[in-house]
Chain A
Amino acid sequence: MRYWEVPFGKEKPKTPIGEIHILKERCKGCGFCVEYCPKDVLEMSDEFNSKGYHPPKIVNEENCVNCGLCEMICPEFSIWCTLKEEVALEN
Chain B
Amino acid sequence: MQKIPQKIIHNKYLRHRKKFPHVWCPGCSNGIVLGAVIRAVAELEWKRSDITMVSGIGCSSRMPVYVDFNTLHTLHGRAIAFATGVKLFKPELKVIVVTGDGDATAIGGNHFIHAARRNIDLTVILLNNYIYGMTGGQYSPTTPIGDRTTTTPYGNIDPAFDICELALGAGAAFVARTTAYHATEAQTFIKKALVHKGFSLVEIICACPIIYGRMNKKGDAPAMMKSMKENILSIKAYEKLTEEQKEGKIKRGIFREVIKPEYTEEYDKLVKSLQASIGEVDNDRT
**Which A positions have Cβ atoms within 8 angstroms of B?**
21, 23, 25-26, 28-32, 35-36, 53, 71-78, 80, 82
In the docked arrangement, what's the CA distance between A25 and B225, Å?
A: 24
A73 partner, pick from B2, B26, B32, B34, beta carbons under 8 A: B32
Whether A26 and B21, one on each chain, are in contact in the complex, defined by CB atoms closer than 8 angstroms, is yes
B26 partner, pick from A21, A25, A36, A53, beta carbons under 8 A: A53
- Is B238 in contact with chain A by the CB < 8 A criterion? no
- Is B137 in contact with chain A by the CB < 8 A criterion? no
Whether A30 and B183, one on each chain, are in contact in the complex, defined by CB atoms closer than 8 angstroms, is no
Whether A25 and B1, one on each chain, are in contact in the complex, defined by CB atoms closer than 8 angstroms, is yes
User: Which residues of chain B are near A23, meaning CB under 8 Å?
Assistant: 1-2, 4
- Is B275 in contact with chain A by the CB < 8 A criterion? no
User: Which residues of chain A are near B221, meaning CB under 8 Å?
Assistant: 30-32
In the docked arrangement, what's the CA distance between A77 and B66, Å?
A: 11
- Is B50 in contact with chain A by the CB < 8 A criterion? no
- Is B144 in contact with chain A by the CB < 8 A criterion? no
- Is B264 in contact with chain A by the CB < 8 A criterion? no
Closest chain B residue, CB of each to CB of A32: B222
- Is B184 in contact with chain A by the CB < 8 A criterion? yes
In the docked arrangement, what's the CA distance between A28 and B109, Å?
A: 34
Whether A77 and B14, one on each chain, are in contact in the complex, defined by CB atoms closer than 8 angstroms, is yes
Q: Which of B206-259 contact A (CB under 8 A)?
A: 220-222, 225
User: Which residues of chain A are near B32, meaning CB under 8 Å?
Assistant: 72-75
User: Which residues of chain A are near B27, meaning CB under 8 Å?
Assistant: 28, 30-32, 75
User: Which residues of chain B are near A32, meaning CB under 8 Å?
Assistant: 27, 221-222, 225
Q: Which of B96-143 contact A (CB under 8 A)?
A: none
Quote the shortest CB–CB distance from A42 to chain B (angstroms): 13
Whether B26 and A72, one on each chain, are in contact in the complex, defined by CB atoms closer than 8 angstroms, is no
B35 partner, pick from A21, A30, A77, beta carbons under 8 A: A77
Closest chain A residue, CB of each to CB of B25: A28
Whether A72 and B184, one on each chain, are in contact in the complex, defined by CB atoms closer than 8 angstroms, is yes
A77 partner, pick from B5, B10, B220, beta carbons under 8 A: B10
Q: Which 3 A-B pairs have the closest CB atoms?
A: A75-B31, A28-B26, A30-B27
With A74-B35, A75-B31, A77-B10: A28-B220 Cβ-Cβ less than 8 Å: no
User: Which residues of chain A are near B10, meaning CB under 8 Å?
Assistant: 77, 80
User: Which residues of chain B are near A77, meaning CB under 8 Å?
Assistant: 10, 14, 20, 31, 35
- Is B22 in contact with chain A by the CB < 8 A criterion? yes
Q: Pick 29 A–B contacts, CB within 8 A, sort by A.
A: A23-B4, A25-B1, A25-B2, A26-B20, A30-B26, A31-B27, A31-B220, A31-B221, A32-B27, A32-B221, A32-B225, A36-B222, A36-B225, A53-B26, A71-B35, A72-B184, A74-B31, A74-B32, A75-B24, A75-B27, A75-B28, A75-B34, A76-B21, A76-B22, A76-B31, A77-B14, A77-B20, A77-B31, A80-B8
